[in-house]
């Protein structure tokens, strides 16, 4: 029974991954308006993300979705598109 409980949220989390949900989460973390998080807005160059904010993004993504992000993957998270693609790939691999 416990395994069923654990497996169901994993599937639900992947099904619930959509670009707008991710955009809203990033806007909340960065304390910016959702409109500022365009698909190609660069986190560092356009949104002023520093290393502490990047760490907060990582922690929140790992808390929100059933993924673990390796340190070398963090450099891939430069835009919403990049973040979505990485999360989608990891969630698909886990299902």
Is 45 catalytic? The answer is: no
Question: Could you write out the DSSP letters of every residue in the chain?
Answer: -HHHHHHHHHHHHHHH--HHHHHHHHHHHHT--GGG--TT--TTTTT---HHHHHHHHHHHHHHSS----HHHHTT-SSHHHHHHHHHHHHHHH-
The share of the chain scoring above pLDDT 70, in percent, equals: 83
Banded model confidence at residue 16, pLDDT cuts 50, 70, 90: low
Q: Which of 18, 39, 45, 50 is catalytic?
A: 50
Could you tell me the domains of the chain?
2-94 (1.10.1200.10)
pLDDT at 1: 44
- Asked whether the whole model's pTM tops 0.85, one would answer no
pLDDT at 95: 79
Residue among 71, 66, 75 at smallest CA distance from 93 = 66
pLDDT at 64: 93
Distance CA 25, CA 83 (A): 12
Q: pLDDT tens digit string along 18-59?
A: 899 999 999 999 999 999 999 999 999 999 999 999 999 999
């Amino acid at each position: 029974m416990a395994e069923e409980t654990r497996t169901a949220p994993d599937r639900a989390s992947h099904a619930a991954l959509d670009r707008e949900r991710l955009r809203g989460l990033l806007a909340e973390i960065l304390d910016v308006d959702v409109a500022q998080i365009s698909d190609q807005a660069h986190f560092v160059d356009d949104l002023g993300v520093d290393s502490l904010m990047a760490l907060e993004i990582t922690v929140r993504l790992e808390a929100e979705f059933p993924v673990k992000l390796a340190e070398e993957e963090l450099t891939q998270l430069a835009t919403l598109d990049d973040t979505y693609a990485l999360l989608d790939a990891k969630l698909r691999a886990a299902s």
